[in-house]
Amino acid sequence: MRIYQHALFLALAFLAGCGGTGSPTAQDATAFIAEAESKSNDLWHEMAQAQWIASNFITEDSEAVSAAATRRAIEYGVTLAKESARYDGVEVADDVRRKLNMLKTGLTLATPADPAESKEATEIAARMEGIYGRGAYCPGDPKPCLDINEITRIMGESRDNAELLDVWQGWRTVSPPMREDYTRFVELSNKGARELGFADTGAMWRSKYDMPADEFSAELDRLWEQVRPLYLSLHAYVRTKLQQRYGVDVVPSDGPIPAHLLGNIWAQDWSNVYPLVAPAGADPGYDLTRILKSRNTDALQMVRYGEGFFTSLGFEPMPATFWKRSLFVKPQGREVVCHASAWDVDNVDDLRIKMCIEINAEDFSTIHHELGHNFYQRAYNQQPLFFRDSANDGFHEAIGDTIALSITPEYLKQLGFINTTPDASKDIGLLMQRALEKVAFLPFGLLIDQWRWKVFSGEITPEQYNQAWWDLRLKYQGIAPTGARSDAEFFDPGAKYHVPANVPYTRYFLAAILQFQFHRSLAEAAGCPATGDTPLHRCSIYDSKQAGDKLNAMLQMGASRPWQQALEQITGSREMDATAIRDYFAPLQAWLDEQNAGKTVGW
């Protein structure tokens, strides 16, 4: 999945604190918030620009500048979080209370009060991200080093078991140097969180969801149980097909799937194995990657297509600075962090995306996703500064993916990419392709933070980092490594960007649930399912002003209301509901159950 530059966290992380003595009053609280909001933006802008440079020009100097700016930001944020606690017992206006609560729960890294330890934490954070960004697998002469893009390409295209295992293992040589840093980072991060009154950093992360932390954990379990049967059916079918390709000695009939055979470095998206698992006769008759290349589509035009989707809904085009300042193509002669991300550099309209675009179907979808962040960021830019964010972080991720669900044959026909849409007999293939991306991701989206929360709480010790990582991947995903992955030698969690970059991951699981709930509601607004002849998975909201109006009404709310109210604005319900996923994939679920008859489901 992808990240965006999380505006509220950063806004919260750099504000100047206000001291005070005596019993605080409501007037004091209001003045405190007003002063914090008035002072925040310059420091935010400085840090965002420093981080942009560090991601686009990876050097020791850029890392140092970024670390210094981030350290100043976080130190102010910690001060402000501590000051906000002074007003816990004061009766204040609802909007002031919401902002005070956000200040206490909005950090992802709370550095310790000790200046030396604060400096050490931010330097470690910058160093780990730099290690990841420079990461490459160098097998040695005469073979050249492979960066993450080249490894990603091999993982997606190769069908050679030995080659896949080699590059899979090779990428994981990047992360062991982070292990000692990460262990120390956990210690420092937890110390800062405890100084704010939280049990640990994981508890701090879970406290931001407009509900008690324990209830939030239970909510995640409930949602996973709603979708788990669909995942188990997909897993069993894919395992059978992979066994047919690689043999029973490589892929067992009733055990976990080898992690290197699923077409993705992290086995979080199985789309690339579609040719091996495609239903017979399900070819839709077009290949989006081939179409894009045949039209000589370049990176800029790829982004123009994404922008065009949003303007068809009634949104204004991106500002001129977006096209001038974004990074669309990997530059020659310098190292950059190619991981796709969307940025809101000034909390108003300096919007950008950063990615090394490849001309293929995956990046076509990714662009729609990243622009979803940018259009959301602009929609709420009239809110007070502290409310310039999504209702919860899952919402931000869900918006872009909701739009990507509308990349249907009907949409491609409207763009002129295809002349006719495939008939209903091809839908199982189309649903299979989407399930390999969306359904396969669900347990991965859940387990990343399950591991980190246990690490932060001390339930998983440094001596157990790798074993616990693979225990969770087996429990939730039903995958396993080929060969031993000892804790003494490996640190496989660090091979996933969001771990060294300290980016919370539960947002992606929530987004995977919410996007289908949003899509079902917006499709209804567009009049799609109501016609009776277009199933939910064929609906596209492209060019629907009614859907655009409904979407924009929610986007403009930003974080000004609890996420339950924002959810109600767009869906009519205050509860997250995974039944929309089951509705969307219902024809595929029935087909999978037929294919799996007589076979083991589970591991």
Catalytic residue among 6, 235, 260, 339: 339
Q: Identify which of 275, 198, 219, 209 has the alpha carbon closest to the alpha carbon of residue 242.
A: 275
Query: What radius of gyration, in Å, describes the C-alpha atoms of the chain?
Result: 24
Query: Which of the following is catalytic: 508, 537, 566, 578?
Result: 508
Residue appearing with tokens 């006769």: 281
Q: Tell me which of 340, 468, 547, 578 is the catalytic residue.
A: 340
The answer for residues whose C-beta is within 8 angstroms of residue 400's C-beta and 6 or more apart is 368, 369, 370, 371, 372, 373
Question: Would you call 45 a catalytic residue per the annotation?
Answer: no
The catalytic residue among 123, 397, 437, 524 is 397
Task: Say which of 6, 235, 369, 519 is annotated catalytic.
Answer: 369
Asked about 370 being catalytic, the answer comes back as: yes
Catalytic residue, chosen from 83, 123, 370, 524, is: 370
> 177-180 contacts: CB < 8 A, separation 24 or more?
177/131, 178/128, 178/131, 178/132, 178/491, 178/494, 178/500, 179/462, 179/465, 179/491, 179/494
CA-based torsion, 467, 470, 475, 481: positive or negative: negative
Cα-to-chain-centroid distance, residue 412: 25
Q: Is residue 340 flagged as an active site residue?
A: yes
In the residue annotation, 368 being an active-site residue is answered as no
Give the separation between CA 315 and CA 164, rounded to whole angstroms. 43
- From CA 10, how far away is CA 90, in angstroms rounded? 26
Active site residue 373: yes
Nearest to 109 by CA among 96, 95, 120, 98: 120
Q: How far, in Å, are 73, 118, 211, 214, 297 from residue 207 at the CA level?
A: 21, 22, 7, 9, 45
Residues pairing with 151 in the sheet: none
Active site residue 235: no
Active-site residue (options: 6, 235, 498, 519): 498
Three-class DSSP labels, 102-171: HHHHCCCCCCCCCHHHHHHHHHHHHHHHHHHHCCEECCCCCCCCEEHHHHHHHHHHCCCHHHHHHHHHHH
- Identify any residues that bridge with 351 across adjacent strands, giving them in sequence order: 344
Query: 266: closest CA among 453, 55, 463, 481?
Result: 481
* Residues taking part in catalysis: 339-340, 369-370, 373, 397, 498, 508
